[in-house]
Chain A
């Protein structure tokens, strides 16, 4: 009754209504706090380049980068799971969400859900696939599917993945650091003298062939996240994405001792149900020499450790015996000599950076750093331009050449059936001049092809 009095003053101040008022106030505060928290989380997410969530279909968090608070992760994971399962219940699948400068990409690969929140819209879907393959490489796809059937929906996969978080982390890091090669399923070759690379490959091939180990398929020399040499058994080929999983694995600093490792690894593009056994060694990573090169010998047989150890020793011996080669090789690996833009010749000062991708061999060649793209930020901004134009040319296949005059720099993109070329020029260059420079660059790359690319994969 009293409450109903309009504008009532004296009656309205009785204790009962005051109490209820207080209660409601407290409730509002709680909601506001929650909202604030949620806002803070989202603000934080907005600032991150990549925030990745991996969870099981049933909402159990498996992996989160950037060391997030457990409680926060659980609630976000539940949210992601709800989004995905809701869309699934509609017979649809959730791909992505965008709000202003925030892009959220989802990937549902039963029994896992992947989600990435990023400022950058490009290639997020491929990045999530790479993450999926990264997890497959540890467990294999068949094992991944079986584990929930055997252990129940609530099984915490983290038990199986223990100790591999850093591999996933470094895989994510490489999205920013290395060129677009990873998500574009491409690799880069470490620049070497053609004769040295030839000698290297034939040596590896002959040693592998001589051992006659049935099931040893590949021999790879990796240095600085780049490939120095690769040999294969007959016609077997290894996919660049699988190679990148290997690169990610051997770049793990905990392995880098002079000891030998025997690691089971699944290469999902080769066979996502079975395992390879990788004999990994860093032959010159000791106190005397510090050559960060890694020899990986892959076999499908679990008992080839001793055989491959023998092969490794032969290869190392042969390489070391050729003093001239070895000096060149150690030099090339210690300080890789990337393509210098000044090699192009005159008028090339306006070209600041380029990335060349050969479509058939899936190998890239990246220019060495050059003023004014020096700091990490400066380099990353240039890289972003390239990523964006790469995404653009994927979306619009008819796009062949593109010249954009920006306020900071100019962008030149040239896509043909054979190659894609992304160039960052200074802001004052004209399209005509940039095209002349690019033509010279292509000529120069062609004449030094064997130095920057692995043209033929030697087989045994």
Chain B
């Protein structure tokens, strides 16, 4: 399920040659570039990245071996730490093919530096034991200026560039973490918090290597390895709030189930832990696995190399270095790889279909795969109706949890931190219809009632999400219900107006009258609610309910335009008694005589009227 090296880039591995030439490599996590320094830059410095092909090549003075190399976001400046207390700014751009100009900067107190980080293209952050300072580097004048300084008490510091977040560890065992946002030339302190790293006599201090920062599902988490002598290692996730007043909270605990060296990646909101000795990778999805705080791995798998690497590189070696979010550096082979998810394999890796769909629904750019998988699961009848509805609810975009997560940073007032937003997968009704529902309907091996139930669940999900179903969808649901013979369900969704009234729907229902007579009335009711009086009259005439049609015209006070049609229908279908009643009624209403002229005045002859009068008056006995 994990594939190594879809993207890769080779570099010159570290070496210390006998001829005195030394090659050193540095990975800059902020700019995601690997920098190769040959002879401390005297023979050249090369920086490469997986994201773009631009290779930077410069030469610098050899002023000793650097301990860190950091490139500014635009790649014009490089910060290098060659001595514990100072950092050198190297101006890369203007000195192609010659030695670069340099500028030496340090903190006021000249204390040893704990972190050197680029905040913007020309703002450099320096952190030492006592303070954090923000310097402005003037590229033209080759000078630096202190913009802002703040006092901190730091044992170590890490910087998370995407959110411009500086995390400082202090306290007795370095387990008190202080997040600081460095933005708009300001330091904004957030609430500090204590983490539990499983401290013991053998392990007194919380170390920089046991902490990492990542954005998962639109929230920033500090990830902390918690070791324990008794049980297996855990990875605890602390959620950082977006504002400066809320205390960060322990949110999730990932159960790793092993001890020993491991690497960590966060790819597509999944936390992936690689365990070296067992050569396994654990994939955690904090949204899918369980609603509680502790999570077991969703998938345990092994990395596979991309087939383009021949012979395949050895995996999980000692020479591997992993960097967030997805970088693997093979220091021995001199290759930087990216790791990628092969979600199409999830069907094999995640046996439980509902979980698998939940998993796929949360992946980026996997809509096609998700829809295809959903269809195959539905075809195989692998899901219960309840599960189907859960999945539907998710992809309708109606789930409240998703909505709030999406806009979490916007909802919080006075947000000081920003991070990458997570957009849940939304499948439109049209996509659902064309890619899932229609194929299901056309699948003759499936019982119609099953398909109808699936559609009802989808309808319900839309309803729950307060989305109005599209007309074509309703039409299909109605047709499917009718074909499945689920007339009572159809009746119910119409009666309780689960689906919106529309004239086409009304006519559809009318056409099903032969199969379920009560649907006829439902159809007429819809027409009535739509004030489609003319159509109702037509329907009644079609059913030869001429008297009812007239009553309806009366009640609705319809115009006289309809009357000739009804009179005509009466002439064709009614006894003279009814025709007489219609004529008298029109006379009483003072309708125009021309409207009912066709009924005629000679319905009853004088002779038979006379005879009837006599028979009635004399109580004449008769047989019919």
Contact = CB atoms under 8 A, between A and B. Distances in A.
Interface of A: 49, 170, 173-174, 176-178, 188, 224-226, 335-338, 349-350, 366, 368-369, 371-380, 405, 407-409, 426-428
B392 interface: no
Given A374-B609, A426-B584, A426-B585, A369 B616 contact: yes
A177, A349, A373, A379 pick with most chain B CB within 10 angstroms: A177
A338 B578 CA distance: 25
Contacts of A377: 624
B612 A369 contact: yes
Contacts of B613: 368-369
Main secondary structure of the interface of A (DSSP, over half): loop
B623 A336 contact: no
6 contacts: A224-B618, A369-B617, A372-B581, A374-B609, A427-B547, A427-B550
Nearest to A173: B621
Contacts of A337: 617
Contact of A338 (B609, B616, B620, B624): B616
A427 B551 CA distance: 8
Contacts of B554: 428
Nearest to B578: A408
B619 A374 contact: no
Contact of A174 (B588, B608, B615, B621): B621
Nearest to B613: A369
B603 A372 contact: yes
B580 A371 contact: yes
Contact of B624 (A49, A350, A426): A49
Contact of B620 (A49, A177, A371, A374): A177
A378 B580 CA distance: 13
Contacts of A226: 619
A374 B608 CA distance: 7
Contact of B617 (A177, A335, A350, A426): A335
A184 to B, nearest CB: 15
Classify the interface of chain B: helix, strand, loop or mixed. helix
A343 to B, nearest CB: 15
Contacts of B585: 426, 428
B577 A408 contact: yes
Contacts of A338: 616-617
A401 to B, nearest CB: 21
A224 B604 contact: no
A429 to B, nearest CB: 9
Contacts of B381: none
A369 to B, nearest CB: 4
B575 interface: yes
Nearest to B554: A428
Contacts of B576: 372
B548 interface: yes
B545 interface: yes
B617 A224 contact: yes
A409 B624 CA distance: 21
B173 interface: no
A368 B617 contact: yes
Contacts of B582: 428
B624 A408 contact: no
Interface size class of B (residues with CB under 8 A): 20 to 34
B571 to A, nearest CB: 15
Contact of A336 (B577, B618, B622): B618
A391 to B, nearest CB: 20
A26 B550 CA distance: 61
B21 interface: no
Contacts of A177: 619-622
Contact of A428 (B550, B604, B609, B618): B550
Nearest to A226: B619
B596 to A, nearest CB: 13
B74 to A, nearest CB: 85
B186 interface: no
B384 interface: no
Interface in B539-571: 545, 547-548, 550-551, 554
Nearest to A335: B617
Contacts of B550: 427-428
Nearest to B583: A372
Contact of A408 (B575, B616, B617): B575
Nearest to B605: A374
A336 B615 CA distance: 10
B389 to A, nearest CB: 45
B615 A369 contact: yes
Contact of B548 (A369, A407, A426): A407
Contacts of B575: 408
Contacts of B551: 405, 427-428
B430 interface: no
Contacts of B608: 374-375
Given A176-B623, A349-B588, A428 B617 contact: no
Contacts of A376: 615, 622, 624
B95 interface: no
Nearest to A374: B612
Given A49-B624, A177-B622, A338-B617, A371 B548 contact: no
Looking at B551, B575, B619, which has the most chain A CB atoms within 10 Å of its CB? B619
A374 B607 CA distance: 10
B16 interface: no
B545 A407 contact: yes
Given A371-B604, A374-B609, A407-B547, A366 B616 contact: yes
Interface string B457-498: 000000000000000000000000000000000000000000
B614 interface: yes
Contacts of B609: 369, 371, 374
Chain A CB within 10 Å — which of B545, B603, B623 has the most? B623
Given A224-B619, A335-B617, A428-B585, 7 more contacts: A176-B624, A368-B616, A373-B577, A374-B608, A407-B545, A408-B547, A408-B577
Contacts of A426: 581, 584-585
A371 B550 CA distance: 20
A49 B623 CA distance: 9
Shortest 5 CB-CB contacts between residues of A and residues of B: A177-B621, A369-B616, A225-B619, A372-B580, A369-B612
A408 B582 CA distance: 11
A455 B10 CA distance: 125
Interface string B586-612: 001000000000000001100011001
A174 B428 CA distance: 75
A101 B575 CA distance: 23
